[in-house]
Each structure stands twice: as C-alpha cells, then as structure tokens.
C-alpha cells in the first residue's frame, strides 16, 4: 500500500481506493487532513463503484481517503502505544488476533468482522479510564491509507470475510475495560500469548516473550506459554526446513498459493502436487485460495517421450534429461524433438533416421546421371 502524505500522486490514491473498495469497504473521499466528507454521502454510496471512484479522484486529486463502516465491520481504536498494549492483552485473552492493523496519526486501528447475533453498544469511556479504547461501528467514518500519516502496519486478510471474528465476549471485555478503573497488569498472566507471525519471525517472537518472563520478579514461578499462528507464503509453509515451526502453530493462513515444486521425476509430479494441495486445504483461508504449483522435470528420455506422460511434460516449465551425457546413437525424429527441447540438450549427440537417408542420398545423387549408361558399358 502507498504510505505517502497529502501530496500523494493521483494513481496511488485511486489504486488504494479501488483496492479498499474491493476489500469490502465503503470508501469515501475526504478533505485533506480532516475527517470531513468531501461530498454528500448518500448519493455517493448509492452509486459506489470502481468507475465512480476513479472518476472522482481524476476530478479531485487532492482529496484523501476514508471509509464508512458497514454493519459487518468493527474497528477497535487504541490511542497511542500504551492503549495498544492494553488492547493487545484483551485480544490475547479472547483469542481475537487482528488480521488487519492500520496506524493513523499515532492511533492503532484493529479491524474485525462482527460475529452473527452479536450486539455492539458504544459507550463513552469512563473519565477514570487511563487507556480508553474506542469502537468504530456501522456508520462511523474511518481514515484509510494513503491519507496523511496513515499506513498499513499488518494485513493478512484479502477481504472483510477474512477478518478475525469479534464475538460478544470480546466486545463486552472492551466495554468493561472502558467502564472500569485503571489497574496494573498482573505479572502472572494465565492466558497464552498468541501472535500472528511469518515463519521466519517465530523464533524472535518467542525469544522476546521469554525475555519478558525472565525479567519478571517472580520468574521462578513462571513458564512461558506462547502460542502463535503463522501467516506466510505457501513456499515458506511448505518448505521442509520450516516443518517444526508450522507444526507448532495453532493454525496457519497463506498469503498466496504459489509454490515451485522444484525438479522432479515424471512419476513424482502427482504426489508433489497432492502434498502442496494438502497444505492449501489445511490453511485457515483455504476457501479463498487456488493452488498454483509449477515444476521442472528431471527424467530419462524414455520417460519424457512416453505418450502416457505427455500431459505432465506439457505442464512443466522445462525439463532436463538424466541419460548419461554423450552419444545416444540412432534416434527417431520424434525422439530428436524431445532431445532438442531439453534444457541440457547440448550434452548429447545422436544420429537420426533422417540423417541416414540424407547420407545415402548424398552418396547416390552424384552417380544418378551415369546409371543409364552402365548396362551398355558392361555389355
């Protein structure tokens, strides 16, 4: 996503607005560095489309970007780092890990999807609440990137449907926090710490959590209980080197479904594709994914050329022959085509049936003119 200020270029704003619209947000143009809509909302929302979005910013390139929350959207706003820490604690206690977080002028916007049959009643926080948490619900205006000082911090969802569901218990906990008097957090936390991380970041996240436990005055009585969910590419989740990390996750989501199966024999392609599909099927967001598995072949000329393997060979990005380098002897013109098409074709020499015909023709053609007189010379 673009992260520029109010001087952002037109294509960035248009691209961003259309992307958020396709995400499922009701995007609205706002006046620069404000939360004031730049037009009447009712007719704008009634005709909202990618075309109307593009046309608006062509006509008004200085306008910034926001959205009107729909009835399925809940945006929980923490004003500053300390409030965000408190919000993170409540989220962990209720297993509500946000799949999408934006920072706008120092405020953290955590996006959730409202669970069915859930009531969200907004109340003003108590004046004695040191770290209030705001709830943005249906009809509220929320600023979006690339507006001034507004950036995406993390995003593991491609649409509202993929956002973490906010249930009644979680919403009630947020409201109760705003009603209650502030209190120090207990050093002994019986709730597991749940984070969403890429495979490569799991070890660092665990080490950071352990450092906090180690620094506690009552460390001798504590054992870290850190759970995590993985959000990463299919390539990284499928990598055997990451198997232990993936198996240790409570769940995983895929940020794409693209994987290179590497160089495989013809007979092993189906198994490799099945294994990759199993990983996609096991992802939390499997319904939104379609496997895109590429591969190269590394097999014998006989297997590459076999008619039964034609579909597998055609689906490969390339292939190499495993036959010993050198002279392959006499081959048919059909086999010649497979040799020429191999990535390592330069490793082989061969003689084709056509080569033999051409050699014979080259030997016979020069004597053809004298053939009719040979009988008379010998008579």
**Structural domain containing residue 304:** 257-360
**216 and 167 in one domain?**
no
The dihedral over CA atoms of 288, 289, 290, 294, expressed in degrees to the nearest 10, equals 160
Residue 19 half-sphere exposure, CB side, CA atoms within 13 Å? Answer: 16
The dihedral over CA atoms of 259, 260, 265, 270, expressed in degrees to the nearest 10, equals 20
State how many domains the chain has.
3
In a domain, 61, yes or no: yes
Calculate the alpha carbon distances from 95 to 110, 166, 338 in Å: 14, 9, 56
**55 and 11 in one domain?**
yes
d(CA 5, CA 105): 11
Tens of pLDDT, residue by residue, the chain (379 residues): 333 333 333 458 999 999 999 999 999 999 998 889 999 999 999 999 999 999 999 999 999 999 999 999 999 999 999 999 999 989 988 888 899 999 999 999 999 999 988 888 888 887 778 889 999 998 999 999 999 999 999 998 999 999 999 999 999 889 888 886 443 334 444 444 455 678 888 888 888 778 888 877 777 888 888 888 888 999 999 999 999 999 999 899 998 999 999 999 999 999 999 999 999 999 988 888 999 999 999 999 999 999 999 999 999 999 999 999 999 999 998 999 999 999 999 999 998 866 545 555 555 556 556 556 555 555 5
In a domain, 115, yes or no: yes
The total number of residues written for the chain in this structure: 379
**232 and 271 in one domain?**
no
In a domain, 67, yes or no: yes
Distance from first CA to last CA of the chain, Å, rounded?
A: 95
**How many other CB atoms are there within 10 angstroms of residue 131's CB atom?**
18
- And the tokens for 61? 């390139």
pLDDT at 240: 93
Dihedral-angle region of residue 326 (phi above 0 means left; psi in -120 to 50 means alpha; beta otherwise):
left
Residue in the block written with tokens 């006509």: 59
Q: 125: which DSSP letter? A: P
**274 and 241 in one domain?**
no
Listed residue (68, 170, 152, 157) closest to 114, CA to CA: 170
**198 and 180 in one domain?**
no
Task: Name, in order, each residue with C-beta under 8 angstroms of 49's C-beta and a sequence gap of 6 or more.
Answer: 21
In a domain, 374, yes or no: no
pLDDT at 343: 97
**179 and 196 in one domain?**
no
**246 and 100 in one domain?**
no
**How many other CB atoms are there within 10 angstroms of residue 17's CB atom?**
26
| CATH code of the domain in which 112 resides | 3.30.2250
Listed residue (167, 144, 173, 172) closest to 65, CA to CA: 144
**207 and 90 in one domain?**
no
CA 299, 304, 309, 314 torsion: positive or negative?
positive
Q: Are strands 107-114 and 100-104 parallel, antiparallel or unpaired?
A: antiparallel
In a domain, 294, yes or no: yes
- And the tokens for 353? 């049936």
Residue 106 half-sphere exposure, CB side, CA atoms within 13 Å? Answer: 5
Q: 106: which DSSP letter? A: T
In a domain, 376, yes or no: no
**220 and 116 in one domain?**
no
Q: Are 109 and 75 in contact (CB under 8 A)?
A: yes
Task: Name, in order, each residue with C-beta under 8 angstroms of 275's C-beta and a sequence gap of 6 or more.
Answer: 238
d(CA 257, CA 243): 17
In a domain, 367, yes or no: no
> In which element (H, E) is residue 135 found?
strand 133-136
pLDDT at 228: 87
- And the tokens for 300? 């014998």
Domain boundary among 203, 226, 254: 254
């Amino acid at each position: 996503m673009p992260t520029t200020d109010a001087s952002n270029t037109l294509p960035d704003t248009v691209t961003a607005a259309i992307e958020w619209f396709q995400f499922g947000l009701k995007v609205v143009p706002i006046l620069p560095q404000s939360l004031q809509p730049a037009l009447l909302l009712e007719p704008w929302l009634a005709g909202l489309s990618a075309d109307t979005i593009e046309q608006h910013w062509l006509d008004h390139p200085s306008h910034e970007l926001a959205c009107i929350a729909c009835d399925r959207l809940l945006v929980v706003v923490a004003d500053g780092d300390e409030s965000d820490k408190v919000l993170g604690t409540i989220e962990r206690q209720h297993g509500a890990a946000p799949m999408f977080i934006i920072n706008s002028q120092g405020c953290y916007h955590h996006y959730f999807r409202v669970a069915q049959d859930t009531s969200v009643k907004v109340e003003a926080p108590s004046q004695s609440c040191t770290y209030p948490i705001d709830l943005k619900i249906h009809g509220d205006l929320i600023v979006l990137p690339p507006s001034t000082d507004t950036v995406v911090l993390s995003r593991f969802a491609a649409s509202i449907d993929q956002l973490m569901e906010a249930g009644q218990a979680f919403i009630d906990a947020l409201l109760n926090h705003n009603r209650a008097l502030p209190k120090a957090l207990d050093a002994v936390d019986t709730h597991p710490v749940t984070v969403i991380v890429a495979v490569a970041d799991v070890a660092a996240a665990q080490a950071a959590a352990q450092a906090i436990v180690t620094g506690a005055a009552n460390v001798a009585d504590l054992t870290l209980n850190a759970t995590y969910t993985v959000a990463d590419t299919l390539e990284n989740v499928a990598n055997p080197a990451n198997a232990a990390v993936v198996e240790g996750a409570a769940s995983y989501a895929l940020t794409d479904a693209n994987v290179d199966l590497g160089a495989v024999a013809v007979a092993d392609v189906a198994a490799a594709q099945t294994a990759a599909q199993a990983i996609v099927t096991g992802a939390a967001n499997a319904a939104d994914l379609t496997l895109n598995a590429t591969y190269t072949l590394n097999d014998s000329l006989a297997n590459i050329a076999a008619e039964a393997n034609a579909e597998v060979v055609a689906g490969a990005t390339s292939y190499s022959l495993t036959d010993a380098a050198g002279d392959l002897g006499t081959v048919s013109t059909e086999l010649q085509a497979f040799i020429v098409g191999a990535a390592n074709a330069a490793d082989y020499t061969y003689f084709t049936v056509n080569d033999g015909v051409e050699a014979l023709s080259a030997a016979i053609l020069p004597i053809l003119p004298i053939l009719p007189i040979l009988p008379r010379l010998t008579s």
